[in-house]
């Protein structure tokens, strides 16, 4: 049934299987598949007002003020004018509504930008430019090089041989190395023939939309034949086409059904822990308010029954009131209106202003501005600032967040000599910096201009024709799976599946061994200006068990050689015994390289016997064509030939960390923040980086590796780790065991457990899948949270979010997730705070984040400076606000006992209206926007100051109770001291001043001065603005008071200003000012005394640090030199092969080869010729 074009009464069934036909929109429309538009916004033009108001009135306080407004419209119980509530309420709703509208407008803008991207769609035999949002399931679209993939596509054909397509998946898994996809042979024949593509009517049946990035199953039925489909034939939304001129794809999943969107997680409304606490406190205050109103209502009933009944001639009961009990009932509601200021609506307005102001400080911070990309820090959400001061767990991506994802050839060891360090004239090693002289490679026409190296002795060795050095670089230029691209002569671009391989081949290229071209049978190298073609006889491919790769080549001279590179632990077992002494020297260099966090790799070679090789290659062919046990047979043959290798040396590659990452991690660790790295990278790569940036270090008692392949294995490994860290945690008497044995549906919070040392935990994605199951999740979170560092490798975007959710579920701690790619979006949305880094991998993470900046190192400033200041300011604001309003409101309570519980207000009605809006609003805002206990430099030097925020020490239920009691005490002083001073007192001229109006003026003057002195005590950092606000507010009070109580105002507005002459009559008396001074002293003295004694007798860790800073300020320390953190380690950072297993076989088959480069064998140059000789060397 349709109503105004809207489908109603029809619920969409859950999709079990997807069925679609290519080029048949009518057939596909019957299934009502989602189109390719995405929507992240919450409102539209018509739904904004009702939905936003509904959301705002879910906040208890707003609903309460609406209820109060209704009460004030009832004449029988209203003792205050309606505008005292309606004006602030409308203001609060308007401010919040405008902010929500701006946020949603930005989401609409972002959606519009993505949905309106252009793409070529095949419609009626022609390619037409369409918007992304109009693409539908079953459409065939054309993508070109460097295009984003529009939807999840089945690859049909491409410009490359055998319809291969190269893609970059950084948006999905954070990896920037290229991956290869290949179309089915039957669809590859379609090419770019639009007629054939239009006639293509294949039918696809596949699984329903899901979030599994690495899995796809389906079938293609074409001309009665069925063809199996898997993930290797799919191009997923978010990928980028690389090195492929064009490709055609069939849309399988669109828009919200794509795997990228299925992994992006839901956008949830984030609220701070202080917000949640305030909701609880507001409920407690309501209960307290109801109790006070009940006491006063009972008091009114008793008074009216006992006294008022007999004074009806003098004080007649209101119309309709015919009994004392009914009078008491009405007074209950009257007092609800009068005493509502214990929770003033201005509290919420002030909170929003404070948060907005502190957000601007983040936006304006020049120390978080990254000039290279012109990127300032940005607070994209303005409601979470104080939560930044309470972070306990940080979940970080690796690639692009901790690292720049740039590999640099840094050092090497050749034939027992180490290269890469720079020495001065006296032989002392000097630190490399921007001023250090670089090696000039201008003599080499084919050198990569971006490559930098500083050790000139290595170039000299190459130029002098040192045989081991030449052999070393020859190996690097031959033993790899890199693909070259040379569109212009001499302009070489290497496409490497692993960035490590690209760095090594580029190094060889710059030192005179240029990898120029390859075919399935040959590799062309330009060696020192001379072009040589090597025959490629075999590639012994890499896999995770072998941890090495080899190539067998025949040189132009006819020499048969095996070149091998791999992890040192593996290759050392395969070396010839004659290499023992060289092995010792190389090991020393490897240890030195590893100590600097470099990724190391050992290289070796072996000259092969012709006859033996002919026999081996025959057996290799038989094994590679075997139907059973192929992998095992090939592995045995590889082991056989890779023996008795001759050691050449080792390479050291730097996986460039972002600037300041080790220092930032060290500082955050000192602030008691635990860091978990969640990455899609391999275990070895993740561990290498963790050692490089000082997350893991050799001083740790142990680093546990969880890699079980079954649920039982994972459980055993987790329990073994926990047993080592805390043996007592398995006893029945353990507090947590007792707590979780009690049957309760409520999710339990795990208290912090202390391990008996410093530990790290590494867990693989496969094992994590088991550990996240319901029966193991508690074991995982107990074991992991005892560790200082946790590293999760090979995790999917959804697993990242599940890990964050798990910690949120079991730990009473605030979490922060930081990343830079689309694969981090779900984790960023799940954590309490999401931080996006605007980096190499697009803007998806930034668009989903609460805060964003350009470099990981800015995180310490965001948390330790802005976060800490925001938290302290908000806590001070709340403590002061609750105190001043309890002191203000409870005076009414005491007055009730002296006014026959008649709901008469103590203060003038104008004072009640202006107290929170004018007289006390600016001083507290000044403190909440400018206050800081220490400046940013000390905040970073003493990260321990951050700990009280994690423990929620500055504002909690106990602190609130203290504020309440302080307010009750102050209200007693403020009522009874003026009452005693006024009682039966006379002026100096003998006239009485003990009237209600003089008393009211004296109480409100005492109150305002007391709360002003209190804010002076709470302010740590004085500015001109603070001074102006405090003195200005007091001046405004006296100016308004004398004006309103003047004869002129009374003459103009007789009914509105009845306190005529009160100000000049009362405030001119010395005894009044003496009473005011006494009230101030009695209110403030206990606070000063308590704070002094607490600091002296029971100082908190924060007090001790502040004392240290105070002493240090007296004698400022000299500026500490910037030190480069270096780790000393005996653990070597193994080489991280990142290319796919089987890529070597693909190269040998020639299926990924383009036509031979026209520049591959033409033109020679010699770096040693006079024309190209570098004069400075």
* Residues forming the active site: 397
Residue 783 burial by Cβ neighbours in a 10 Å radius (0-12, 13-18, 19+) = buried
What span, in angstroms and rounded, lies between the C-alpha atoms of 801 and 41?
21
Tokens describing residue 658: 């972002």
Where does 12-47 have alpha helices with state H?
25-29
Pairing type for strands 833-837 and 814-819 reads parallel
Tokens describing residue 823: 């694969």
CA 956 to chain centre: 26
Q: No. of H helices and E strands in the chain?
A: 41, 37
Q: What is the dihedral of CA 681, 687, 688, 693, to 10 degrees?
A: 110
DSSP state of 843: S
CA 118 to chain centre: 31
| Residues in contact with 828: Cβ distance below 8 Å, sequence separation at least 6, in sequence order | 817, 818, 819, 834, 835, 836, 845, 848, 849
Of residues 695, 686, 661, the one with CA closest to residue 795: 686
| Residues in contact with 750: Cβ distance below 8 Å, sequence separation at least 6, in sequence order | 736, 778, 781, 782, 785, 810, 811
Pairing type for strands 152-158 and 234-235 reads antiparallel
The SS3 call for residue 284 is helix
Give whole-number Cα distances, 134 to 26, 114, 151, 1170, in Å.
15, 12, 11, 63
Strands (E) in 17-139, as ranges, are: 17-21, 118-123, 126-131
Q: Is 238 left (phi over 0), alpha (psi -120 to 50) or beta?
A: left
Tokens describing residue 252: 């399988």
Q: What is the dihedral of CA 29, 31, 32, 33, to 10 degrees?
A: -100
What span, in angstroms and rounded, lies between the C-alpha atoms of 635 and 624?
10
- Contact between residue 1080 and residue 1072 where contact means Cβ atoms under 8 Å apart: no
Name beta bridge partners: 739.
none
Q: At what angle do helices 630-641 and 610-624 cross, to 10 degrees?
A: 170
Of residues 918, 1040, 926, 1062, the one with CA closest to residue 996: 1062
Residue labelled with tokens 């790569």: 685
What span, in angstroms and rounded, lies between the C-alpha atoms of 412 and 560?
26
Strands (E) in 370-462, as ranges, are: 378-379, 391-396, 403-414, 417-419, 422-423, 429-430
Handedness of CA 803, 808, 811, 817 (dihedral sign): positive
DSSP collapsed to 3 states, 924-961: HHHHHHHCCCCCHHHHHHCHHHHHHHHCCCCCCHHHHH
What span, in angstroms and rounded, lies between the C-alpha atoms of 227 and 181?
16
Where does 866-995 have alpha helices with state H?
868-896, 909-914, 921-930, 936-941, 947-950, 957-982
Tokens describing residue 561: 């050689």
Radius of gyration of the chain (CA): 38
Residues in the chain: 1177
């Amino acid at each position: 049934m349709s109503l105004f074009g809207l489908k109603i009464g029809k619920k969409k069934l859950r999709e079990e299987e997807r069925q679609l036909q290519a080029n048949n929109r009518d057939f596909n429309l019957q299934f009502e598949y989602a189109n390719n538009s995405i929507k992240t916004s919450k409102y539209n033009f018509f739904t904004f007002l009702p939905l936003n108001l509904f959301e705002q009135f879910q906040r208890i306080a707003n609903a309460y003020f609406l209820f109060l407004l209704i009460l004030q419209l009832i004449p029988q119980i209203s003792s205050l004018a309606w505008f005292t509530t309606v004006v602030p309420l409308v203001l609060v709703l308007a401010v919040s509504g405008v902010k929500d509208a701006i946020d949603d407008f930005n989401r609409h803008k972002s959606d519009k930008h993505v949905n309106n991207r252009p793409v070529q769609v095949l419609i009626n035999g022609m390619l037409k430019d369409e918007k992304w949002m109009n693409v539908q399931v079953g459409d065939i679209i054309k993508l070109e090089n460097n295009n984003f993939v529009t939807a999840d596509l089945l690859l049909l054909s491409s410009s490359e041989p055998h319809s291969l397509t190269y893609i970059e998946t950084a948006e999905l898994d954070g990896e920037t190395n290229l991956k290869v996809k290949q179309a089915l042979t039957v669809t590859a024949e379609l090419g770019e023939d639009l007629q054939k593509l239009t006639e293509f009517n294949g039918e696809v049946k596949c699984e329903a939309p899901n979030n599994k990035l690495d899995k796809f199953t389906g079938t293609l039925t074409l001309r009665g034949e069925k063809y199996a489909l898997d993930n290797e034939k799919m191009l997923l939304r978010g990928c980028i086409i690389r090195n492929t001129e064009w490709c055609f794809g069939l849309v399988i999943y669109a828009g919200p059904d794509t795997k990228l969107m299925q992994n992006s997680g839901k956008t949830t409304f984030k609220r701070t822990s202080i917000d949640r606490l305030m909701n609880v406190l507001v409920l407690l205050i309501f209960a307290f308010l109801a109790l006070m109103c009940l006491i006063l209502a009972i008091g009114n009933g008793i008074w009216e029954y006992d006294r008022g009944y007999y004074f009806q001639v003098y004080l007649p009961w209101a119309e309709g009131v015919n009994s004392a009990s009914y009078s008491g009932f009405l007074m209950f509601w009257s007092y609800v209106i009068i005493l509502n200021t214990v929770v003033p609506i201005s509290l919420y307005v002030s909170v929003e202003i404070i948060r907005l102001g502190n957000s601007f400080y983040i936006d304006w911070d020049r120390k978080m501005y990254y000039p290279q990309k012109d990127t300032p820090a940005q607070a994209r959400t303005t409601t979470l600032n104080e939560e930044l001061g309470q972070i306990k767990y940080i979940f970080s991506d690796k690639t692009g967040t901790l690292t720049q994802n740039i590999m640099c050839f840094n050092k090497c060891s050749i034939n027992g000599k180490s290269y890469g360090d720079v020495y001065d004239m006296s032989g002392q090693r000097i630190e490399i910096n921007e001023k250090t002289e670089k090696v000039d490679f201008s003599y080499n026409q084919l050198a990569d201009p971006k490559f930098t190296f500083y050790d000139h002795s290595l170039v000299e060795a190459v130029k002098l024709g040192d045989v081991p050095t030449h052999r070393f670089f020859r190996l690097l230029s031959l033993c790899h799976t890199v693909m070259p691209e040379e569109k212009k002569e001499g302009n070489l671009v290497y496409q490497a599946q692993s960035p490590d391989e690209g760095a090594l081949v580029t190094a060889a290229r710059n030192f005179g061994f240029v990898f120029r071209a390859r075919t399935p049978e040959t590799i062309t190298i330009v060696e020192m200006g001379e072009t040589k073609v090597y025959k490629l006889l075999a590639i012994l491919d890499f896999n995770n068990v072998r941890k090495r790769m080899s190539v067998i080549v025949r040189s132009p001279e006819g020499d048969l050689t095996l070149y091998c590179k791999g992890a040192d632990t593996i290759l050392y077992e395969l070396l010839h015994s004659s290499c023992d002494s060289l092995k010792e020297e190389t090991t020393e260099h490897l240890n030195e390289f590893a100590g600097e966090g470099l990724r190391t790799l050992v290289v070796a070679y072996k000259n092969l016997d012709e006859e033996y090789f002919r026999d081996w290659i025959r057996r290799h062919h038989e094994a590679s064509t075997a139907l059973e046990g192929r992998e095992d047979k090939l592995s045995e043959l590889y082991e056989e030939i890779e023996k008795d290798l001759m050691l050449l040396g080792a390479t050291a590659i730097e996986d460039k960390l972002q600037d300041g990452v080790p220092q930032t991690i060290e500082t955050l660790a000192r602030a008691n923040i635990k860091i978990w790295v969640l990455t899609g990278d391999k275990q070895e790569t993740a561990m290498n980086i963790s050692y490089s940036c000082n997350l893991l270090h050799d001083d740790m008692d142990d680093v546990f590796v969880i890699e079980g392949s079954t649920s039982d294995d994972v459980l055993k490994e987790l329990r073994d780790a926990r047993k080592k860290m805390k043996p007592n945690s398995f006893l029945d008497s353990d507090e947590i065991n007792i707590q979780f044995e009690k049957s309760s549906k409520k999710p339990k919070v795990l208290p912090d457990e202390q391990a008996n040392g410093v530990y790290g935990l590494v867990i693989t994605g496969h094992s994590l899948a088991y550990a996240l199951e319901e029966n193991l999740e508690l074991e995982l979170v107990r074991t992991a949270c005892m560790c200082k560092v946790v590293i999760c490798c090979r995790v999917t975007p959804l697993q990242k979010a599940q890990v964050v959710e798990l910690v949120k579920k079991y730990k009473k701690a605030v979490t922060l997730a930081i990343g830079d790619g689309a694969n981090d979006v779900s984790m960023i949305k799940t954590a309490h705070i999401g931080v996006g880094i605007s980096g190499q991998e697009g803007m998806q993470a930034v668009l989903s984040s609460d805060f964003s900046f350009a470099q990981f190192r800015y995180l310490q400033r965001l948390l330790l400076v802005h976060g800490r200041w925001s938290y302290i300011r908000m806590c001070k604001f709340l403590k002061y606000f609750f105190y001043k309003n309890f002191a203000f409101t409870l005076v009414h309570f005491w007055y009730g006992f002296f006014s026959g519980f008649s709901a008469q207000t103590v203060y003038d009605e104008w004072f009640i209206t202006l107290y929170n809006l004018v007289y006390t609003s600016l001083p507290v805002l000044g403190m909440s926007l400018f206050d800081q206990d220490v400046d940013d430099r000390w905040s970073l030097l003493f990260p321990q100051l951050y700990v009280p925020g994690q423990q929620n020490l500055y504002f909690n239920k106990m602190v609130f109770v203290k504020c309440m009691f302080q307010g009750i005490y102050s209200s007693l002083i403020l009522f009874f001291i003026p009452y005693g001073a006024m009682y039966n007192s006379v002026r100096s001229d003998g006239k009485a001043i003990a009237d209600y109006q003089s008393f009211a003026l004296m109480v409100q003057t005492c109150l305002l001065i007391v709360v002003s002195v209190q804010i002076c005590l709470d302010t740590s950092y004085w500015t001109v603005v603070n001074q102006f606000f405090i003195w200005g507010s007091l001046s405004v009070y006296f100016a308004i008071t004398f004006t309103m109580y003047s004869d002129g105002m009374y003459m103009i507005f007789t009914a509105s200003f009845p306190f005529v002459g009160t100000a000049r009559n009362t405030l001119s008396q010395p005894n009044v000012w003496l009473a005011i001074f006494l009230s101030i002293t009695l209110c403030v003295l206990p606070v000063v005394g308590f704070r002094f004694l607490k600091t002296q007798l029971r100082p908190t860790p924060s007090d001790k640090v502040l004392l240290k800073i105070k002493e240090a300020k007296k004698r400022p320390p000299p500026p500490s030199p910037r030190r480069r953190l270096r780790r000393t380690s005996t653990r070597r950072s193994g080489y991280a092969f990142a290319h796919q297993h089987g890529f070597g076989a693909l190269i040998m088959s020639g299926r990924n080869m383009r036509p031979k480069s026209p520049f591959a064998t033409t033109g020679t140059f010699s770096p040693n010729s006079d024309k190209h000789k570098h004069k400075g060397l």
